[in-house]
Amino acid sequence: MLKIHNLHAKVEDKTILKGLSLEIKPGEVHAIMGPNGAGKSTLGYVLSGRDGYEVIDGQVELKGKDLLELETEERAREGLFLAFQYPVEIPGVSNMEFMKESVNAMREARGEEPLSAAEFLKKAKEACKQVHLPLDFLKRGVNEGFSGGEKKRNEIMQMILLEPSLCILDESDSGLDIDALQVVADGVNSQRSPERSFIVVTHYQRLLDYIKPDFVHILADGKIVKSGDASLALEVEKEGYAWLGGKAQEADA
C-alpha cells in the first residue's frame, strides 16, 4: 500500500523529517506515537502534499505510484485521506455540499458517474448516524462552530463517505469524551478491510484498546526510532519518552 523510504522534508528552511522509512501493507493498522513536535502531523502533511512542505530527499510510493509526483488533490483521488488534528472551518459551505463535491470528485477520478442528490443524501445520513452526529450537522457550515469533539467525528464521517484506501488519522482521539472515543473507534473499525490501511497518530494507548494496531512506531525528531507490536504503546504509556532523549540525539550525531 504505502512505502516510505528515507524521507527528508522541511518547512520554511527547518528540516523536520530526517530520514523516515515505513512500509504499510494493505489491511494493516499502524499506530504512530511520539513526543510533541516530533513531526507526526508533518508526516501527514508531507504525504498529502500540503503547500510549503518540501521533500528534500527520499521516495514515497502509494499503491505502486510515485506519490511525490502528484498534486494534493490527485493524491486524495488516489485514495489518500487525512483526518486533521485541527479541522478548519469553511463558513457558509454546508457539510453536505462540501462532501458531495468531494465524493463526486473522487468518483469522477475513478471514471464513475456522480451521485445524484438523493443517492448522496442517503449515504450522508447513514454516515452521520454512524458517528452519532445529529442530521442537522449535514446542513451546518463545514466545522462552523462545531465543538472539538464534533469536528473529530465529522472527520470520521468524511472518511466513511470517501472510502479511501489509506487513512491517516492525526490525533482523532484527542479532546474526545469517553463515548465519543468509542464512536470514533467504531467508525474506524467499521472501515477496516483487507484493502484499506490506516496510520493512526495518537498520544494515548487508550485509543489502541479500541483500534487494535498491527504495529506501533515511535516517531522522534523526524525519524521512526522504535517499532513494535501493540505492547510498545503500553510501554510508552508507562514510561513516557524520557528514555528517547539520548537515543534521538545519538541517531542525529
Partner 1 sequence: MSEQIEQALSRKYEAGFVSDIESETFAAGLDEEVIRKISAMKNEPEWLLEWRLKAFESWQKMEEPEWAHLHYPKIDYQAISYYSAPKSMKDKPKSLDEVDPELLRTYEKLGIPLYEQQMLAGVAVDAVFDSVSVVTTFREKLEEAGVIFCPISEAVHRFPELVKKYLGTVVPRSDNYFAALNSAVFTDGSFVYIPKGVRSPMELSTYFRINEQNTGQFERTLIVADEGSYVSYLEGCTAPQRDENQLHAAVVELVALDNAKIKYSTVQNWYPGDENGKGGIYNFVTKRGICHTNAHISWTQVETGSAITWKYPSCILKGDNSVGEFYSVALARGKQQADTGTKMIHLGKNTKSTIISKGISAGDANNAYRGLVQMGPNSDGARNFTQCDSLLIGDQCGAHTFPYIESRNPSAIVEHEATTSKVSDEQLFLCQQRGLDAEKAVSMIVNGFCKEVFKELPMEFAVEAGKLLEISLEGSVG
Ligand X SMILES: Nc1ncnc2c1ncn2[C@@H]1O[C@H](COP(=O)(O)OP(=O)(O)OP(=O)(O)O)[C@@H](O)[C@H]1O
158 binds Mg ion (CB under 5 A): no
* Nearest residue to 169 via CA among 137, 128, 197: 197
Rank residues 36 and 250 by Cβ distance to ligand X and give the closer one: 36
Rank residues 93 and 234 by Cβ distance to partner 1 and give the closer one: 93
Helix, strand, coil percentages for the chain (3-state, nearest 5) = 40, 30, 30
CA-to-CA distance for 20 and 44, rounded, in angstroms? 12
Partner interacting with residue 141 (select from Mg ion, ligand X, partner 1, none; CB below 5-8 Å by kind): partner 1
187 binds partner 1 (CB under 8 A): no
42 binds ligand X (CB under 6 A): yes
Rank residues 168 and 181 by Cβ distance to ligand X and give the closer one: 168
Instruction: Report residue 51 as a C-alpha cell.
Output: 503547500
Beta carbons within 8 Å of 80's beta carbon, 6+ residues apart:
47, 48, 62, 67, 164, 165, 166, 168
Rank residues 98 and 241 by Cβ distance to Mg ion and give the closer one: 241
Which element (helix H / strand E) includes 23? strand 14-24
240 binds ligand X (CB under 6 A): no
Rank residues 105 and 115 by Cβ distance to partner 1 and give the closer one: 105
Cell 470520521 belongs to residue: 156
41 binds Mg ion (CB under 5 A): yes
Number of H helices, E strands in the chain: 9, 12
106 binds partner 1 (CB under 8 A): yes
> What residue ranges bind partner 1 (CB under 8 A)?
48-52, 71-73, 76-77, 81-82, 84, 87-93, 97-99, 101-102, 105-106, 109, 141-142, 158, 162
